Amino acid sequence: MKLERILQNQGFGSRRQCRQLVELGKVRIDGHIIDEPDADIPTTGLVFEVEGETWTYREKTYVALHKPAGFECSHEPKHHRSVYSLLPHPLVTRNVQSVGRLDVDTTGLLLFSDDGAFIHTLSSPKKHVPKVYRARLAEAGNEALLHSLLSGVSLLDEPRPVQALTARLLDEYTLEMSLDLGKYHVVKRMIAAAGNHVEHLHRHGFGGLALGEAPLASLAEGEWLYLEAADLQQLHPSA
């Protein structure tokens, strides 16, 4: 693939902008400046530098972010900073999208990709990909709360009771529960319907990936990393 096309494909700007990057000597491969935009470069295993920063060529990109509070999951936020401002510009330029959304005050694991089929698969309720949440409760939890969540609670816009896959108390005020559906404010609404309220919500896991565990063991709030092929397999724990 021509070098200017590679850069454009990887999110470094328009074709003209990418051509200029090459002509100005800002692109290196194997430590050597490549200043010919039409140079034919193999993309398999390609590692390159743009303005001193190292990148690996990725046909599709998959990213995990530890979302802090105070960020909106929108390219055009209304009241807070965009969560996309936490990602490097080339990823935003190549139009990665979040797999679902987290509320502005909710923290935790958020996935992004420019692979439409991947996003659809993880978002589809038919695939039953579980998400694990940890909620700080306004009132102490008890067995009655767990029973209600596991047996199902009624929500106004749902034709039948909505059940948690799992629910347990990590301590008196911390509830961990998992769901395989994504609905607007569903965790907060379920806990409210069960007789308690959420003071803070955190998404701890998505499929077989979880914050604090490999490959996300050291991912701090506001940080992101690429997910590799083996990591993507973990998203489908039953596969």
Q: Round to whole Å and give the CA distance between 100 and 172.
A: 30
Please pick, among 35, 38, 40, 103, the residue that the annotation labels catalytic: 103
Q: Which residues contact 126 (CB under 8 A, 6 or more apart)?
A: none
Q: Round to whole Å and give the CA distance between 129 and 237.
A: 9
- Amino acid residing at 113: S
Joined tokens for residue 138: 């306004």
Q: Which residues contact 21 (CB under 8 A, 6 or more apart)?
A: 7, 12, 13, 27, 50, 51
114 is catalytic: no
Joined tokens for residue 107: 């923290």
Which burial class, exposed, middle or buried, applies to 116 when counting CB atoms under 10 A from its CB (0-12, 13-18, 19+)? exposed
Query: What are the catalytic residues?
Result: 103
